[in-house]
Amino acid sequence: MNTTSTLLEAQDSTNPTALSRRRLVASCPDQPGIVSAVSRFLHDAGANIIQSDQYSSDPFGGTFYLRMEFAGIDEVIEGLAESFGVVAERFGMTWRFGNPDRPKRVAILVSKEDHCLQDLLYRWRRNELEAEVVLVASNHPDHRASVEALGLPFHHIPVASKSDKPEAERQLLDALDGKCDLVVLARYMQILSGDFLRRVGVPVINIHHSFLPAFAGAGPYGRARERGVKLIGATAHYVTEELDEGPIIEQDVNRVSHRHDVAALTRLGADVERTVLARAVGWHCEDRVLRNGNTTVVF
């Protein structure tokens, strides 16, 4: 049964009541009674649970992860975050409330290859992402026209040499400051410093091919074909100071054979990169990804 629809249909047309949705994302030491306590809290407040997912890393001493989506009238929902602290403190929760009615603001960073950029922009325009793209920044000017044609700000911040990186990162931080909830590296071929990651203040998601570490650097598909690889893939992960070592959100592969030349491998690689990145961004924006150290729980 569609609970939200039922709630909407139950409203008196002569006295309409606005409905809001929220998501609770939480983790805590696993113990009995967590789901019961959260459900009782929402029930007592007059909220209706639409979807609930939970996972325990170990029922005896592990960590419990929870994602609940619920709906209710505005005046009820607006005050729940303030009162939930009592439940959270009881179980030692790390928690947050997400608001699906306010899409996360996404900034996209890109270099010359545009397959991931264009795919994200396409999905955004078709309302397939629970996100609002707010700007695009690049160390090359190539995509300015296509981005500005969509009414989006485009920031060209060149990085001509290693000595330019500190100033480029300063300009990038200025462009991002207060404007986004997530930064997506859509084939942005610059390594972000630890100082940048600390100062940007929002999660950063990256995408790369899954040949690492065997075929790092330029021309990975040519070297992969020389070795006769049978799988090509992509990995989307959160960015940390350790290069390409952040918590993995999503991965996928395509099978290939000796019949695929370098151009075909590159094309298939681009296909899997953009789909994997779109899934990772979508799941993050839907509050489906919970970080656990260097791993993730994805509901």
* Residues involved in catalysis: 244
Measuring CA to CA, which residue among 65, 79, 70 is closest to residue 23?
70
- Find how far residue 291's CA is from the centre of its chain: 11
For residues 202-241, one letter each, b for 16 or more C-beta atoms within 10 angstroms of the residue's C-beta and e for the rest, the string is ebbbbbbbbbeeebeeeebbebbbeeebeebbbbbbbbbe
Ramachandran quadrant class, 178 (left: phi over 0; alpha: psi -120 to 50; beta: rest)? left
Which bin fits 217, alpha (ψ -120 to 50), beta or left (φ > 0)? left
Backbone phi, psi, residue 18, to 5°: -75, 135
CB atoms within 10 A of CB 61: 10
* H helix intervals, 22-164: 34-45, 74-77, 80-83, 85-91, 115-125, 144-148
CA distances from 140 to 48, 96, 154, 160, 198 (A): 49, 37, 11, 10, 24
Using a 10 angstrom Cβ sphere, with 0-12 exposed, 13-18 middle and 19 or more buried, the burial of residue 110 is buried
For residue 168, what are the contacts with CB-CB under 8 A and spacing of at least 6?
A: 139, 157, 158, 159, 190
